[in-house]
Each structure stands twice: as structure tokens, then as C-alpha cells.
Structure 1
């Protein structure tokens, strides 16, 4: 009865590639596994990615917004200060697009979003009360940033660790250091890198759904 009286929790998804985690979220919302929720929009920062087709197939509006194509920086720019300024300006403009929309999200899910946000995005979104969560293929405090699976594999092969894992966490300026929402350890049984990658990715779909459902529950309860 409570769900029937509340409007759906508004979710915005950001993706940069194939979008299998995005598809898992679409399916979970449709099946009611993420209760009383609606994916209101998809943002992509790469052209012609499969995520767009998934959005169109589900009737979800999408938007392409790119650092270079939208004129924030010239392709191939190497000056670190110019790059940092461009990224900050891009982030601020993206936040403005989201916050000025008629239908604003309550939750943003980064589902394979290959861009590290600066304060230009995170501060205005936080002030607006919007939560931002991310999926990362490593355990908290281990292998932050890009290439996490490859670095974990090297450590496994060297005998430095015996397991790796995945986590869903809140997004803060320190890359992959936000508070964990859900964490799952994954054993290594001597698999080669490609097998380990497949094993990890097969677990990610369920974790991102469970984590999103958990945060949506909290948002709905706070509303009530």
C-alpha cells in the first residue's frame, strides 16, 4: 500500500560502453526487484555504444554528452592544467543539465561510466540531495581506479592475496573510496586473467541490482 501511495524513485543511469549492468537494472526495475522505481534517463559519454540501444529498447530517454565533442577541450590536449579545468567545466555543465531538467533524479547509478568526477559535478549534486553510487571490481581499499582486475590478477599470481572481489559504493572525490554499500569477495582458483574477468563480471550484475535496490529502499523510507 505504501508503494502505491508514493511516486516511483527516480533513477538516472550513466554508462560508457556495452551496458550489461544497465540492462540488469532495466530488467530488475521491470521485475519489481528494485521496488517502486523508474529509470528516467541514460547519459552516455561515448558515441554509438550498445547502452543507447538498450535504452531505446526499454523506452528510456538518453543523452550523449562528451568532453571533446561538446567543446570543453581540444582532442589531444596534453596541458595538465587545461585538462583539469576542462574536466571541471564539463562536470559542472553535466550537473547543471541534470539539475535543470524537469524530472530530476533522486539516485544516480554509474554503470560502467568511464569518467572520474570532480567537485564540479559532485558538489552541486550532493547539495541537491541526490545520491551517486558506483560499481567497482575490487574490494574496499584495494586496487582503486582503472585496471583493477588486471592489478588484482598480478597480485594473485604473485601470492600477495588469495581473493579479490567487487563492491558497490557511494561516489566521492577520492576515487573508489566512498562508503561501501555492498561487498562480495571472489575466490581465485587459479584462473587465467580472461576467466577471472568473466567470473567477476558475472557477479557484478547481481551486486549492482542489490545495491541499487538497497539505496532505493532507503530513499523511499526517508520520503515516507
Structure 2
């Protein structure tokens, strides 16, 4: 059974999608071992509690914040780390320690509307302002450059003439759950390779 850890900062609907996929057997060779959260008001903590998943709340303003995150991750020896609306940029020390084991979900079709400053509704506002006819979501590996890692999966939605950031966010959110669960399965079943090598192995 592969070990999945989740880093989250908000509501955690994608976290819930993973839980449901595990419970329903859609993800049948992995389980969430721990949630790490940096926002004491985040509803994702309640989701973890209701589903019997251990969680750790870490003070994002703490001096040793990133070192603590690194030590928590290393202690669990995760096969896969999911960034679910995690509102911090991971330092190189964590990225390098878990190379090609950290995946992020971004609410646009990368490389468009990605990088520093593009997060949450800011992404949808920029898409609409640009006049783009399509947007979507991207699951990709987290690397040393923000939103620039190898792409695992993308889902596309149409941007209507009357779109608002809120309606576009809702459209994309529906696809995010599917894309994330698909990507997790792809990685845990060893069907994803980089340069001919499996990313996650037994």
C-alpha cells in the first residue's frame, strides 16, 4: 500500500475527493497517512478528523517552518505528496528531497497563467481578462521553478462570453477532482515515466 501525504491550506475539497476515491476503491493501492495544514481555520482539518486521518497544524509564521515540514515528511516516508491549495512555495530543500514525488494542482492550462502571483481567483480573473476561450486545470510535478514541472494531466473547460471568476472556478473545480484522482492512480500504478524511468516504484 502506497503512502500519500497531503499539504493543504483551505477547504480541502480535493482532499475529500482523494478520501472518497480511496474509500470507493477507485484508488486501491494507496492511502492518506497524514495531513499537514498551515491554517488553523482551514476546513480541511475537520475533513481529516471526520475521516480518521491524522493531521498536524504547523504555524506558517514560525522561524523553522520549512525545516519542520521537511522533518514531518521524512518521518512518514511518503510515496506521494499532494499539494491541495497549499498557499506556500516549497523551498528547494523539500523539492530536492522528494524529487518527482510532489504533485500540485493548478487552476489553468499550464504553462498559461502560471508562476508567482497566479493562484486562486487571480488565475480566473486573468484568463477572463485575456479573452481566452478555454481554460482548465493542470496536475504537474512540483519542481524548483513554480508551476513549471512535468505535466501529468490536464482537463479543459470552455470560457463563455458571460463568464465570471466564480463561475469559471466552479467549472474547473469539477474537473480538478477527476484530474487529481486520475493522476494519483497513474503514478501509484507505476504507469508514469520520466526519461524511461518509473517515478514511483515498489
**Into which bin does the TM-score normalised by the smaller protein fall?**
0.7 to 0.9
Question: What SS does structure 1 have at the residue aligned with 2:98?
Answer: helix
Q: Please tell me whether residue 216 in structure 1 is matched to residue 188 in structure 2.
A: yes
Selected match of 1:118 from 83, 91, 103: 91
Selected match of 2:112 from 128, 139, 142: 142
Shift of the alpha carbon at 1:35? 2.0
Query: Which consecutive aligned stretches of 4+ in structure 1 deviate over 2 angstroms post-superposition?
Result: 89-93, 219-222
Task: Please state which structure has a larger fraction of its residues in helix.
Answer: 1
Q: How does 1:169-188 map to 2 (within 5 A)?
A: 169-188=140-159
Aligned to 2:127: 152
Equivalent pairs, count: 189
Cα distance between partner residues in 2 of 1:117 and 1:59: 27
Cα distance between partner residues in 2 of 1:221 and 1:148: 31
Shift of the alpha carbon at 1:66? 2.1
- Label 1:154 to 1:171 Cα distance change in 2 as closer, same or farther (>3 A): same
Cα distance between partner residues in 2 of 1:180 and 1:221: 16
> Is 1:35–1:216's contact at 8 Å kept on the other side of the alignment?
no
> Is 1:95–1:125's contact at 8 Å kept on the other side of the alignment?
no
Deviations 1:25-78 (A, max 9, x none): 00001111112111000000000311011101110000011221xx31xxxxxx
Aligned to 1:106: 79
**Which stretches in structure 1 are left out of the alignment for 5+ residues?**
1-7, 73-88
TM-score normalized by the length of structure 1? 0.79
Shift of the alpha carbon at 1:202? 1.8
TM-score normalized by the length of structure 2? 0.87
Shift of the alpha carbon at 1:18? 0.5
Aligned to 1:166: 137
> Is 1:11–1:109's contact at 8 Å kept on the other side of the alignment?
yes
**Which stretches in structure 2 are left out of the alignment for 5+ residues?**
191-197
Q: Which has the larger radius of gyration?
A: 1
Shift of the alpha carbon at 1:220? 9.8
> Is 2:187–2:200's contact at 8 Å kept on the other side of the alignment?
no
Question: What SS does structure 1 have at the residue aligned with 2:82?
Answer: strand
Shift of the alpha carbon at 1:211? 1.0
Aligned to 1:76: none
Question: Once superposed, what is the RMSD of the aligned Cα atoms?
Answer: 1.7
> Is 1:35–1:217's contact at 8 Å kept on the other side of the alignment?
no
Question: What SS does structure 2 have at the residue aligned with 1:198?
Answer: helix
Cα distance between partner residues in 1 of 2:28 and 2:60: 34
